[in-house]
Every structure is written in C-alpha cells, then in structure tokens.
C-alpha cells in the first residue's frame, strides 16, 4: 500500500470576510506498488504520489516506511520510489517480464490494495493488447484486462502465470467509479525503461522521436492508397534532419511495421519507437507506391532546437509571473503538443502575478503582442520590456487562436 498526503491552500470567503488568512487542507491518496529491487525500489503510478510531500509505503507484513521519489514521469504515469530497509535485509522482488509475447486470452492476476483493505488478488484474462486512448496521439499502448481493478489498485501489479510483472495497473473505464471489467495496465517494457532511467540517476525519461507528423490510416485513406486494411501510420510531414528523414522516410509513406511488429495506428508507432533507447537501431517497413520498403533508422531524442531559454517574465505586462520557453520538438514532445507548428513561445507554468489573474495557462503558445509576431523568448522579452497603456495579445490554446485586449 502507498499513501500520499499533500497540503492544499484553501481560499474560504467566509474566513476572508473577517480578515483571516486562508486555511490549509490536507488531501490524501491511496494506491499500490510493486517492489522491483531487493534494496527497496518500488514502482507505482505517478498520479498516486503526484504533489505529495509525505509518502508512506506499507508492506504486506504491516511495516511502514517513509519513501522518497527517485523519478516521477507524468507521460507514462509511473513513479519510482525508494525506501530504506534494515541493513542486510533483502525484500522479495517481482521480476519485470523481459519478453512481450503475451497474447489475448492469457490468464493474469491483478495484485494490489483496493480501498486500502489489504493485499488483494483478482484474476482474469488479457482482453486486448496495444490499446490506445488516442489513435493519432502519443497516449501509450496499454494492456487491457477484465481482472477486477478498483480504486486503490493503481500502481499494483498485473502478473502472468509465470509470476512475472507484465504491467502496472493504471486506470479503469467505468461509469460508476467501480470495476466494470475494463482495466488498463502500463506494459512491462515501459516500466523497465523508467526503472532503468531512475537507477542511472536520470530525472526524466528520454524517449526517441520518430521525427514525423503522423496520422492514423482511416478506411477512406486505405481505399485511396490501395491498402487491404485501414491500419498503419500515414506520414503527413517529415522533420528535416530528424531520425525519419535520415532513414529515408518520405511524406506520403505509410509505416506498416516496426521491428517486425505490425503498426496499427499512429499511437502504436510512437509507442514502439519510444520503447527503444537512443542510439539503438530500429527496423521500419513503409508502404510506398504500392510496394513495401524496409528501412533502418537510429533511435534519436527529439532535437532541442532552438534552445529552451527558460525565463520568468517580470514587469507590468500581461505575462508577468509566467515561465516561458522556446518551442522546439523536444519541448513539444515533453508536453505532448504538435511540434510542426510555426515557432513560438510556450508557457510552462504561472505563479502569482498578472498572467495568472488574466487566465494565462500552462500550455498556451504566445503568438503575438501588440501586433508583433513572437517567435522566441527574446522576441517576447523585447515586446514587453516597455510599459504600455493597452496590450493586445494573441495566444494559441488547444489549437485555437485567441486574441484579447487588456489595459494596465
């Protein structure tokens, strides 16, 4: 069992009427975890411990330990924790499966601590593999199971009949909030990458980037291109000098397989590439001019060009208190947005200040200030250095352009 507590600063209008300071409220969350190293390294879901300042791990023998976070990765929703066990003691470990030969119909066990009642085991089968939440995005490729998974099971183990960890239970599909037989687990290959990164001292997981804008093949696209089935990832654009470009991938190609495994959609391709380590060789097959072409590419991280140039905006202007960075493929991959848009400046967070008061949000892309195009942090700094009675700003939010005028 893993419990996490975080303090929320609560603005209460009733207390403010009497001039009293905001009160602090403590929120808690419960989840499960898996011991993957005998010295006390534990895997769980990031959402179980996110924002927590007090994380407690309870073992099945009821001993409790305070845990520290070695790595927390929001994109995979995995976190690696470490507890200090008594000298000379080796905790029991669940081995991470080193093969991905699981099949639909295989028997599995879901082990966790639902509702905090204690260690609980449920059984079921693998209902589907490579299940994606967004076929055109980078939402991962989950293992779907009908083993009962309930609140508190998050971060627990999905186990094969060989006793190996094949996945970490992450979320369920339910209209009631209780198990309805549709649960999703993060595959072992992803878990292994995150654990390796944490053990090597990394704070972020570096994922190779295919280097192209992708679109899942629809029945209409398949018919137009003469494909027998609507599967694969259509290359809509190629990043100059990126991994795909170097390998010979061209606009209009359909990627059909990676390392011999069929590519179902764009998300499956991103997942397959992202599971490699930078520098590894990847075998890719593309369909071009009604023929299959085998290609070889080197797995590479998304380029951080232009450099981040992170800055907190100061002064009396609409972006005061906002932290901004230059938009690059690396930054776009980090936050999960399309890197093929034109250059711009991304808001990564906001603190107390004008930006927060005006509703500027993390993820906003600043496009223009007082009629001046903003293509870099340097452009933004120059545009807001001098005070102005009126500010007209244009930002891009969730693919939509928003223009507003403010007076200061």
Catalytic residue among 3, 4, 29, 47: 47
Question: What's the sign of the alpha-carbon dihedral 281, 233, 207, 69?
Answer: negative
CA-CA-CA-CA dihedral for 48, 54, 60, 64, to nearest 10: 180
Other CB atoms within a 10 A radius of the CB of residue 391 amount to 21
Q: Are strands 107-112 and 233-238 parallel, antiparallel or unpaired?
A: unpaired
CA distance 224 to 286: 16
- Residue 89 C-alpha from the chain's centroid: 34
Phi-psi region of 384 (alpha: psi -120 to 50; beta: other; left: phi over 0): alpha
CB atoms under 10 Å from CB of 10, counted, come to: 10
Q: Residue 304 has what DSSP assignment?
A: -
**Could you tell me if 163 and 188 are in contact, meaning their C-beta atoms sit under 8 angstroms apart?**
no
Q: Is 237 a catalytic residue?
A: no
In angstroms, rounded to a whole number, what is the distance separating the alpha carbons of residues 250 and 34? Answer: 43
Consecutive H or E run containing 381: helix 377-384
Candidate list 3, 29, 77, 113, residue with the active-site label: 77
Using CA atoms in the order 173, 175, 177, 182, what is the torsion angle rounded to 10 degrees?
-30
Decide if 61 is catalytic: no
Copy the structure tokens of residue 329. Answer: 């493929």
Annotated active-site residue 381? The verdict is no
Cβ–Cβ < 8 Å for 81, 44:
yes
> Kindly report the CA angle at 257 between 256 and 260, in degrees rounded to 5?
150
- Residue tagged 């290609």 (tokens): 295
The catalytically annotated residue of 3, 32, 127, 154 is 154
Catalytic positions, please? 47, 77, 154
């Amino acid at each position: 069992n893993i419990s996490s507590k975080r303090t929320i600063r609560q603005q209460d209008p009733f207390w403010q009427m009497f001039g009293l300071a905001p009160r602090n409220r403590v929120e808690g969350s419960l989840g499960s975890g898996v011991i993957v190293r005998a010295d006390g390294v534990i895997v769980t879901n990031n959402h179980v411990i996110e924002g927590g300042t007090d994380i407690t791990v309870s073992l099945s023998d009821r001993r409790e330990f305070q845990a520290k976070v070695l790595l927390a990765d929001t994109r995979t929703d995995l976190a690696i924790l470490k507890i200090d066990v008594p000298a000379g003691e080796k905790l029991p470990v669940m081995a991470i499966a080193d093969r991905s030969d699981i099949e639909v119909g295989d028997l599995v066990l879901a082990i966790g601590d639902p509702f905090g009642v204690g260690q609980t085991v449920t059984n079921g089968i693998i209902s589907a593999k490579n299940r994606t939440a967004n076929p055109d995005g980078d939402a991962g490729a989950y293992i779907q199971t009908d083993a009962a998974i309930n609140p508190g099971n998050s971060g627990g183990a999905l186990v094969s009949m060989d006793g190996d960890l094949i996945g970490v239970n992450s979320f369920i599909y339910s209209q009631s909030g209780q198990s309805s037989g549709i649960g999703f687990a993060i595959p072992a290959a992803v878990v292994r990458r995150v654990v390796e990164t944490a053990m090597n001292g990394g704070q972020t997981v570096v994922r190779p980037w295919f280097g192209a804008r992708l679109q899942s093949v629809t029945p209409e696209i398949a018919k137009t291109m003469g494909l027998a089935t609507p599967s694969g990832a259509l290359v809509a654009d190629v990043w100059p000098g990126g991994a795909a470009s170097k390998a010979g991938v061209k606009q209009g190609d359909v990627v059909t397989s990676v390392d011999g495994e069929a590519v179902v959609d764009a998300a499956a391709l991103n997942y397959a590439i992202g599971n490699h380590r930078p520098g590894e060789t990847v075998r890719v097959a593309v369909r071009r001019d009604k023929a299959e072409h085998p290609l070889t590419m080197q797995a590479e991280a998304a380029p951080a060009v232009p450099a981040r140039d992170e800055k907190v905006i100061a002064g009396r202007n609409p972006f005061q208190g906002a932290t901004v960075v230059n938009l690059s493929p690396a930054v776009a991959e980090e936050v999960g947005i399309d890197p093929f848009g034109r250059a711009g400046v991304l808001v990564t967070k906001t603190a107390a200040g004008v930006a927060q008061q005006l509703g500027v949000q993390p993820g906003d892309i600043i496009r223009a200030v007082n009629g001046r195009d903003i293509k870099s942090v340097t452009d933004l700094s120059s545009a807001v250095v001098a005070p102005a009675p009126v500010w007209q700003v244009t930002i891009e939010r969730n693919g939509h352009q928003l223009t507003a005028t403010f007076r200061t």
